């Protein structure tokens, strides 16, 4: 069995930041990830709605870490941890393998949560993986190609009025207003709290609601989903009245729970978890009584820090700095909040920055653009994304649809899958 100095689990924001930081001191590191790519999750909704091709938000890890000779990358899913023996078991295409470590950083992220209704997972679309986004994209194209009379196909319900819900609802509506203009599509956005983007509140939430409603989105706040089946979703408003909406598309962006690996780590390191299964880590990011295991990012809970990429990245660097001796072991992690933002629709975003700075509209949108360009990984990806954004937001293209076989509505109304997309200017643009 091989043994290495540090094993990092996960190639998301936290794992990648940790690995890059360890490379600065040439610490021998093995990064094990279930996927061969680094996924830029904040832009999944743009893949789902054709703004960006899939590859632009998922560069291969091997390329990102190219030249960092101290880092080995392994594609595999970690399934077991023996904390006392300092040994991990991971599954690859060719079978189970083991690796020994001296220090471990676990950054396995989060999965979608359904508030105890796990059966809803099969009846809804989520946006956590690239496959999720690509699957939703194909489904949306099918829906827009459905016969005019098929109301359920042309009704889209997004559950969860946080950033992801707002962004995907805004973009689905834009497919209707700018691309498939002859389709009588309706978009509902359902949120349990009294406001959209409840963590922002005030002016930013008001702006978001007004902008989406002005575009024709039906915003239902103080509203909870009570049932979902294959052709309808039932919601209950603040007055207790129930409403059933006929739809074949429910996009679920309402809850999170830790990935299964969190339970494995919790048991091995004797660490408590919260209701979402996230590890209740120590202030210095260690897990339970283990000084050799760190857990970071979305699979953890510490000081109420949000499940956002800057938290995962800063934690990754903090854990790596303790391992490479640049920060004293045991130093408590402090999150530096640089603000949050969400795109409402084309040319409109809201930004909640430090020092009480709040931006809306076009100014917010350009701020969003600059920040996302900065954080997108790799020069080629940045260049390609700028080109796609110019085409999508400056013009009317949906570059992501170019890689899909677009269904066409035939005279009888049934979608056929013969026509390959070639749509710099989509066929049904007004």
| Active site residues per annotation | 167
CA distance to 81, 161, 217, 338, 392, per residue, from 167 (Å): 38, 9, 12, 20, 15
In whole angstroms, how close is the CB of 247 to ligand FAD at the nearest point? 20
* 77 near ligand FAD, judged by CB under 6 A: yes
CA atoms within 13 A on the CB side of 115: 11
Q: Are strands 249-252 and 358-359 parallel, antiparallel or unpaired?
A: unpaired
Helices 379-389 & 361-375, crossing angle to 10 degrees?
A: 150
Q: How many residues bind ligand FAD (CB under 6 A)?
A: 32
Given 7, 22, 31, 44, the residue binding ligand FAD (CB under 6 A): 44
In whole angstroms, how close is the CB of 256 to ligand FAD at the nearest point? 8
Q: Which is nearer to ligand FAD, 44 or 220 (CB)?
A: 44
3-state helix vs strand vs coil in the chain, percent to 5: 35, 25, 40
Q: What character string, x for contact with ligand FAD (CB under 6 A) and - otherwise, covers 290-329?
A: -------xx--------xxxx-x-----------------
Q: Which stretch binds ligand FAD (CB under 6 A): 36-44, 200-208, 322-330, 386-394?
A: 36-44
Q: How many residues does the chain have?
A: 430
Per the DSSP assignment, residues forming a β-bridge with 137 are none
* Segment (H or E) for 111: strand 110-112
Q: What character string, x for contact with ligand FAD (CB under 6 A) and - otherwise, covers 157-196?
A: ------xx--------------------------------
Burial (CB count <10 Å: 0-12, 13-18, 19+), residue 354 = exposed
* 35 near ligand FAD, judged by CB under 6 A: yes
Residue of 295, 346, 371, 317 whose CA lies nearest to 42: 371
In whole angstroms, how close is the CB of 406 to ligand FAD at the nearest point? 24
Positions in 231-270 near ligand FAD (CB under 6 A) = 259, 261
* 88 near ligand FAD, judged by CB under 6 A: no
Q: Which residues bind ligand FAD (CB under 6 A)?
A: 9-15, 32-35, 41-42, 44, 77-78, 107-109, 127-128, 163-164, 259, 261, 297-298, 307-310, 312
């Amino acid at each position: 069995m091989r043994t290495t100095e540090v094993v990092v689990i996960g190639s998301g924001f936290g794992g990648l930041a940790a690995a890059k930081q360890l490379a600065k001191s040439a610490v021998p590191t093995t990064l094990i990830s279930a996927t061969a790519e680094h996924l830029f999750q904040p832009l999944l909704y743009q893949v789902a709605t054709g703004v960006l091709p899939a590859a632009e938000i998922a560069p291969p890890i091997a390329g990102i870490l190219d030249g960092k000779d101290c880092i080995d990358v392994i594609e595999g899913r970690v399934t077991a941890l023996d904390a006392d023996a300092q040994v991990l078991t991971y599954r690859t295409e060719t079978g189970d393998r083991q690796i020994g470590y001296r220090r471990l950083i676990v950054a396995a992220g989060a999965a979608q949560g359904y508030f105890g209704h796990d059966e809803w997972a099969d009846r809804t679309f989520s946006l956590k993986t690239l496959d999720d986004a690509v699957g939703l994209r194909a489904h949306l194209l099918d829906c827009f190609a459905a016969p005019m009379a098929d109301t359920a196909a042309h009704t889209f319900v997004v559950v969860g009025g946080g950033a992801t819900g707002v962004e995907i609802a805004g973009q689905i509506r834009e497919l209707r207003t700018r691309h498939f203009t002859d389709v009588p599509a309706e978009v509902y956005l359902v949120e349990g709290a009294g406001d959209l983007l409840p963590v922002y509140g005030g002016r930013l939430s008001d702006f978001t609601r007004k902008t989406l409603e002005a575009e024709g989105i039906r915003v239902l706040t103080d509203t909870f989903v009570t049932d979902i089946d294959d052709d309808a979703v039932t919601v209950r408003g603040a007055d207790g009245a129930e409403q059933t909406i006929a739809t074949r598309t429910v996009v679920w962006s309402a809850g999170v729970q830790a990935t299964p690996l969190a339970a494995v780590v919790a048991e091995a390191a004797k660490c408590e978890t919260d209701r979402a299964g996230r590890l209740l880590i120590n202030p210095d990011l260690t897990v339970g009584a283990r000084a050799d295991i760190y857990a970071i990012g979305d699979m953890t809970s510490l000081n109420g820090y949000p499940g956002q990429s800057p938290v995962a990245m800063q934690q990754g660097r903090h854990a790596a700095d303790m391992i490479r001796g640049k920060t004293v072991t045991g130093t408590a992690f402090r999150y530096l909040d640089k603000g949050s933002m969400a795109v409402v629709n084309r040319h409109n975003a809201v930004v909640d920055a430090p020092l009480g700075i709040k931006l809306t509209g076009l100014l917010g949108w350009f701020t969003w653009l600059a920040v996302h360009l900065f954080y997108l990984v790799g020069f080629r990806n940045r260049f390609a994304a700028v080109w796609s954004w110019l085409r999508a937001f400056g013009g009317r293209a949906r570059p992501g649809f170019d890689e899909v076989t677009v269904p066409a509505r035939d005279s009888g109304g049934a979608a056929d899958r013969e026509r390959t997309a070639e749509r710099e200017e989509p066929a049904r643009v007004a």
